[in-house]
Amino acid sequence: MIIESKPIIKVGMADLRAIAAPGILKTSGLGSCVGICLFDPVHKIAGLAHVMLPSSEIARENVINVAKYADTAIPFMIDEMIRLGAELSNMQAKMAGGAQMFVLGSSDMMRIGPRNIESCKMMLNKYNIPLLGEDTGGNYGRTVEIDSSDGTVLIRSVQNGVRRI
């Protein structure tokens, strides 16, 4: 029996990657952050961004990290995937994360997880990319991986074990 081994590429916090099959993109430590997965099933190209914040308008750094913000990470990841041969019209999305990790009041600034989810969905709508599945919200962390050969997304959490979307 032959067990197929695919390379696993780690995606850090405020980071993104795009690859052509075969390979798996994986990110850990999604609390209020969102792991946004894009996949072109025709060309078998996947992208994964570990988005920390909803909007680059709040950026304080001189040179902004495009992977850190939903409004810049998604367009940049789309461009990276197209550079590898993907087509925007084929792309589909899945996402996980966006938890409300701390109960510190109801101010909008403390709702980072829900705001990240909302911002990612707005960007997907802007590019007409359908959201095929999500595992978002709650109050627990997640690890996410996407398989570039078929677009399968695995979500691991201590609370819910392994979920496939």
Q: What are phi and psi of 157, to 5 degrees?
A: -150, 150
Regions of the chain with pLDDT less than 70: 1-4, 102-110
List all residues 6 or more positions away from 153 whose beta carbon is below 8 Å from its beta carbon.
37, 94, 96, 133, 144, 145, 146, 147, 164, 165
19 domain residue, yes or no: yes
Q: What does the pLDDT look like over 37-85, one tens digit per residue?
A: 999 999 999 999 999 999 998 778 778 999 999 999 999 999 999 999 9
* Residue 20 near residue 44, CB atoms below 8 Å: yes
Q: Would you please indicate which residues are annotated as catalytic (active-site) residues?
A: 33
Indicate the number of domains in the chain.
1
Would residue 152 be called left, alpha or beta, if left means φ above 0 and alpha means ψ between -120 and 50 degrees? beta
Half-sphere exposure of residue 75, counting CA atoms within 13 Å on the CB side?
A: 11
Q: Evaluate whether residue 79 is within a structural domain.
A: yes
State which residues form the domain around 38: 8-164
Residue 2 in any domain: the answer is: no
Please check whether residue 61 lies inside any domain of the structure.
yes
Residue 1 belongs to some domain of the structure: no
Predicted local distance difference test score (pLDDT) of residue 60: 80
Q: What is the pLDDT of residue 100?
A: 87
Report the CATH number at residue 109: 3.30.1330.200
